[in-house]
Structure 1
């Protein structure tokens, strides 16, 4: 079975994939450009670039956070129309690298193309700020008194846009993010940003499909607000809080992929350890081709985003402490054993971008979700960490170790039923 290397490429790296757009040109906010925060009250990060006629492109620019760091309590975002998002990511760097992860030398302090999204070129670690609307609600918004998203001193930040210009003329774009900060002594609790991403999307040509994922927290948290992210085939979205007993309570629902509404919780949405957030995206595909997950307008996405506290770095990427991701729910009839067989014979990533693999999971039955998810997670994590050393010795050694380590999971999968 072609296991670990391909699954990591398809699933593990997907957590920080970019977003896309369908807008056609600049639509300046009614209240004009966004002025920087007053001196001592925060910082502004700004990207200005030109998009050529007919061009769709992701662009990035790297900045260095102040030497004293940032304690962000609220943000504001404004950007020219033509992009469905502007995002600001934190990275693992403390100085701007001279080359990308792929070995391309460039001056990353200037605007540059990052066509496969920032995660392909830079070691991003989390989302700091952003928005899905040129003059709409930011992702972070306002946090409670004493609560702030912390950025360590000197952290390198990546600002990312994804523009599509369908007009016959060059498009001048201007994106600005204001981060409003508080002093260290005023920070009582560190906040984080939920960035739950479901890569298992497969919408058949001229057909319908859904993508559903559940993320279980291992710590008590308070969620401030949430919003969704889908592309233009998205026709419905619903998010639920799931109690430890499995009871589901709808907390957010709409049918928009543009001008996405934000759900503010007052009081905050409390999740206890062992409880979950469960989110589902519904799609209708009018094209004569299958659509899978990905960062461009040709692809789809399914996400749940929002600030929460106190911070749990693993949970904000829908991960557990052992590195496993969440639970994926299929909408088909295939048992776990049939899904395993499907994954084993799916085309390599280089041939179809993972379309067959995604389809295998989406076509599994809902009752097999726990078994299928544990199977995929065992391979993503290298046998839940048992194969870390072997996987540093090459693909063959890694694959052999994962096959052995995941043997019990495979046996359980083959015995699992759909009901």
Structure 2
């Protein structure tokens, strides 16, 4: 009898442990893979731009703050027309490699296929999240596994341990651009940036245009360490004694850090043309839209490198202008350059600045991107007035690599409406900071393009 009691006790004990481990297993997998993706990947990385009512949510059709986001992703048609033509859905439930290859979302987040994305699918827009804020390797593998397992809503199909891998894709080393087949190339040859020094200079370059040209694509490639690279033309009323000589290198500051007044004076006649804070840019205008470069136009190249290291840095920049025939152009793009120079940031204080710019005639806004320096913590662009009053069309908290947001179709703005800029800065120094050209000064600029 004693042995029978022991056997019975053993059975009860085994059943208890089976129940205990079953409960523990259930506890580990109580959240589905989709829930984890939504809560730990999409919400922190996507929802700050793709939120209800935002232009980006409207443009992409994706509102990551919505409770219906799963149904808006899985087997849903993307708004991007090129992706539609290629037969993609946002997330395919077909499963396996085939399902992965049919998922537009995977194309947009897979940073390791960046070169393929930029060269083969430029019409898909930019990689997400924007800037160089790539998802971690673990997050990518977690999402990939979910898609390959047919993107289920409720079940657990990916190991949560994957999310512990925080490695990220790194942008490739500098590679010179090949010359465009239709167009022309500019090249700032290698130059030195001394240790613990900011080097910013201008070179006015003769494009040698013997006829009007129409540019619909610009590529820029820079060595690492660049704060920005900008292209300007000059106002047609620039005095001849102010217009720089072609090929002359004009430093913004001398070796003692003192501003060069001659260079500063010429900057007052600048008209912004294009540029980037990213080390690599592939900027394309929609079909039928191009920038007009009149015969005889020159371009003022502005390079700014920041070297905080104790060794000499080498800078270098390539720029390609791709041109189309005039007969292909329906709309001449114009440059947007909205700037607030009234910047005063008290020491050890967070300050928010606003400035509103009027729209004086109907325009179609195709692209915007912000420009600020390292104390900027948030930059917001909103529409004031009209049917889209209060709509946020741009947001970033990344001063170093701000996103470039394209609008397809362009946003129609009418006379009487306004574009409102709101920027927040955290000045954690003991000195007042104002507008200026050094990275330790501040700026509040919105660049972009539009047509009438």
Of 66, 71, 75, 2:214 maps to 71
Structure 1 length-normalised TM = 0.61
Does structure 2 retain, via aligned residues, the 8 Å contact 1:100–1:122?
no
- Equivalent of 2:185 in 44, 48, 52: 44
Q: Does 1:121 align with 2:266?
A: yes
Given that residues 201 and 210 in structure 1 are in contact (C-alpha distance below 8 angstroms), is that contact kept between their aligned partners in structure 2? Answer: no
* Mapping for residues 9-408 of structure 1, pairs under 5 Å: 29-30=172-173, 32-38=175-181, 41-48=182-189, 49-65=191-207, 66-92=209-235, 100=242, 108-115=246-253, 116=259, 120-121=265-266, 124-135=269-280, 137=281, 141-244=283-386, 247-310=389-452
SS of corresponding position for 1:214: strand
Q: 1:263 to 1:285 in 2, by over 3 A?
A: same
Give yes or no for contact 2:206–2:246 (8 Å, CA) kept in 1.
Answer: no
C-alpha distance after superposition, 1:180-222 (max 9, x if no partner)? 1112222222111111111111111111111211111111111
Give CA-to-partner distance per residue, 1:206-252, whole Å, 9 cap, x none: 11111211111111111111111111001111110112489311111
Supply the distance in 1 between the matched residues of 2:387 and 2:327 (Cα, whole angstroms): 40
Q: Mind listing any 5+ residue stretches in structure 1 that lack a counterpart?
A: 1-26, 311-419
TM-aligned CA distance change 1:123 to 1:154, over 3 Å: farther
Q: TM-score, normalised by structure 2?
A: 0.56
Maintained 8 Å contact 2:174/2:221: no
Distance 1:95 1:248, change over 3 A: closer
Partners of 1:78 and 1:91 in 2: how far apart?
23
The alpha-carbon distance between structure 1 residues 134 and 213, as it changes in their structure 2 partners (threshold 3 A), is same
User: Would you say the 8 A contact 1:130–1:177 is kept in 2?
Assistant: no
Using CA pairs below 8 Å that are at least 6 residues apart, which structure has the higher relative contact order?
Answer: 1
SS at match of 1:248: coil
Structure 1 equivalent of residue 104 of structure 2: none
- Rounded Cα–Cα distance in structure 2 between residues aligned with 1:28 and 1:266: 27
Contact 2:201 2:303 in 1 (8 A): yes
- RMSD over aligned Cα atoms: 2.6
Q: Secondary structure at the match of 1:236?
A: strand
State how far apart, in whole Å, the 2-side matches of 1:122 and 1:131 are.
18
| SS in structure 2 of the partner of residue 120 of structure 1 | helix
Aligned to 2:91: none
Q: Deviations over 1:26-59 (max 9, x none)?
A: x984472222211xx1111121221122221211
1:303 and 1:107 map into 2 onto residues whose CA distance is 28
Deviation at 1:96, TM superposition (A): 12
Structure 2 residues without counterparts, runs of 5 or longer: 1-169, 254-258
- 3-state SS of paired residue (2:369): strand
Would the alpha carbon gap of residues 31 and 300 (structure 1) be closer, same or farther in structure 2, given more than 3 Å must change? closer
Q: Which has the larger radius of gyration?
A: 2
Correspondence for 1:342: none
Query: Structure 1's 185 and 124: CA in aligned 2 closer, same or farther, altered over 3 A?
Result: farther
Distance (whole Å) between structure 2 residues aligned to residue 189 and residue 68 of structure 1: 19
Alpha-carbon distance change, 28 to 254 in structure 1, aligned in 2, over 3 angstroms: closer
Q: Secondary structure at the match of 1:185?
A: helix
Distance 1:227 1:287 in 2: 27
Shift of 1:121: 2.9
User: How many Å separate the matches in 2 of 1:47 and 1:124?
Assistant: 22
Secondary structure of the corresponding residue to residue 391 of structure 2? strand
Report if the CA contact (8 A) 1:191-1:309 is conserved. Answer: yes
The answer to whether the Cα contact below 8 Å between 1:28 and 1:81 also exists between their aligned partners in 2 is no
| Partner SS for 2:192 | strand
